[in-house]
Amino acid sequence: MRILAINPGSTSTKISVFDELNEIFTQTIRHSTDELALYSKIIDQYDFRKKILIEVLEKEHIPVSSINVVVGRGGLLKPIPGGVYKVNDILIEDLRKEILGEHASNLGGILADCIAKEIGNDVNAFIVDPVVVDELDDIARPSGCPELPRISIFHALNQKAVARRFAREIGKKYEELNLIVVHLGGGITIGAHKHGRVVDVNNGLDGEGPFSPERAGTVPIGALVKLCFSRKYELHEVRKMITGKGGLVAYLGTNNANEVEQRITKGSQKDKNIYESMAYQIAKDIGAYSTVLKGEIDAILITGGLANSAMLIEWIKERVSFIAPIHIYPGEDEMKALAEGVYYALKGELEIRDYN
């Protein structure tokens, strides 16, 4: 089984080719500002990106005709349960209509579908665990304000992949386990995984949870309302405070954890206080999500780029190791997660779902 995985970013398209689960090629194709400026909308870039993608594969002597299955990063679709979805006309239509907003990941399913159709020979296109995965229990949805229900937007692809990987390692099924999965990246999400469903998780895009390298997380709501009506800031400025210029950026002027740790080793007490406070908030939310599972937790899995930080991980462990065994999966290998999802689905170990 030769798998082509496609992960479009705002200024890049990452592609990987796998034979079974053995990665034989990967490359991040960079797109210049001038190239992208020719297109008024992201969705209009798909022909341009597809052409370059195919040229790269041909240059590497990987004929497109050798591909058996194509998988793309899921975009901003309607809220759906997690899993592997075969791309169909309804899915493509919703991606093109940008029903939940404009985002480069919307191109993932479209590119996968276009390439699969060009190859023919019953080659199918899939997406795996998009960020809009919504498996929240009904009890988790109310926020206290009916106009503002809690929304499930999180690092579903990586969280689900790591959870399934851990289950295979211990010889069990993901659906048999209760797990807390923590994704530590530019944004931070913490999910309560109950027998294969993420029954509660913080909105990592713009609303809840610990502050992160770039996001403010949960903030005092009364003070936020006053700030919004102070006439000092425009809407886009407030949104940037919450996502992009919050967290470590706001306090320390950088989103680079390595830089922060270097300052700490040189004696910066301010950097230590803020960095440890982030760890404190992460640990506090892990504790909160342990109550969702009523304390019946098989393991805590920590993943994402910041899982490489021994300093941060040690601070978190100090506070939550009593809850359950902790397992670390550093990094965020989205390409492997995409390949694993479709591989195990085609092997019959995961259900292939229909989007409707």
* 272 CA to centre of own chain: 27
- pLDDT, position 356: 86
Residue-level pLDDT at 99: 85
Residue 210's domain spans which residues? 165-331
Based on the domain organization, do 124 and 219 belong to the same domain?
Answer: no
CA distance 262 to 247: 18
CATH, residue 347: 3.30.420.40
* Cα–Cα distance measured from residue 264 to residue 311, given in angstroms and rounded to the nearest whole number: 10
Give the E-state strand segments of the chain in sequence order. Answer: 2-8, 12-19, 22-30, 69-73, 84-86, 124-128, 178-184, 188-194, 197-201, 299-304, 326-330, 352-354
Average pLDDT across the chain, whole number: 94
In the chain, the number of structural domains is: 2
Greatest extent of the chain over all pairs of C-alpha atoms, in Å: 62
Residue 246 has pLDDT above 90, yes or no: yes
Query: Residue 129, by phi and psi: left (phi above 0), alpha (psi -120 to 50) or beta?
Result: left
Beta bridge partners of 190: 182
Q: Which residues contact 342 (CB under 8 A, 6 or more apart)?
A: 3, 69, 71, 84, 126, 128
Same domain, 234 and 292: yes
| Rounded mean pLDDT, 146-153 | 92
What region, left, alpha or beta, does residue 144 occupy, with left being phi > 0 and alpha being psi -120 to 50 degrees?
Answer: left
14-32: average pLDDT:
94
Per-residue pLDDT band for 81 (boundaries 50, 70, 90) equals very high
Tell me the pLDDT tens digit for each residue of 154-185.
999 999 999 999 999 999 999 999 999 999 99
How many C-beta atoms lie closer than 10 Å to residue 15's C-beta? 24
Share of the chain above pLDDT 90, in %: 84
Let me know if residue 28 belongs to a domain: yes
Instruction: In whole angstroms, give the CA distance from residue 14 to residue 291.
Output: 38
- The predicted model scores a pTM of 0.90
95 and 73 in a common domain: yes
The residue with tokens 């770039």 is: 214
Backbone angles phi, psi at 190, to 5 degrees: -130, 120
Tell me the pLDDT tens digit for each residue of 266-319.
999 999 999 999 999 999 999 999 999 999 999 999 999 999 999 999 999 999
Q: Say if residue 209 is in the same domain as residue 320.
A: yes
Number of CB atoms found within 10 A of residue 251's CB = 17
Residue 87 lies in a domain: yes
Instruction: Classify residue 38: in a domain, yes or no.
Output: yes
Q: In the chain, pLDDT over 70 holds for what percent of residues?
A: 100
- What value does the mean pLDDT take over residues 120-124? 88
Burial of residue 253 (number of CB atoms within 10 Å: 0-12, 13-18, 19+): exposed
The helix-helix angle for 257-265 and 269-292 (nearest 10°) equals 130
- Judge if 127 and 275 occupy the same domain: no
Q: For position 31, what pLDDT does the model report? A: 87
pLDDT digits (tens, 9 = 90+) for 195-216: 999 999 999 877 799 999 999 9
Considering the domain boundaries, does residue 153 fall inside one?
no
**Closest by CA position to 218, among listed 285, 156, 275:** 285
Q: Is the pLDDT of residue 98 over 90?
A: no
pLDDT at 260: 97
Look up tokens 């006439």; give the residue. 231
| Structure tokens, 218 | 């949960």
Q: Is residue 160 in a domain? A: no
Whether residues 225 and 309 fall in one domain: yes
Taking residues 147-154, what's their average pLDDT? 92
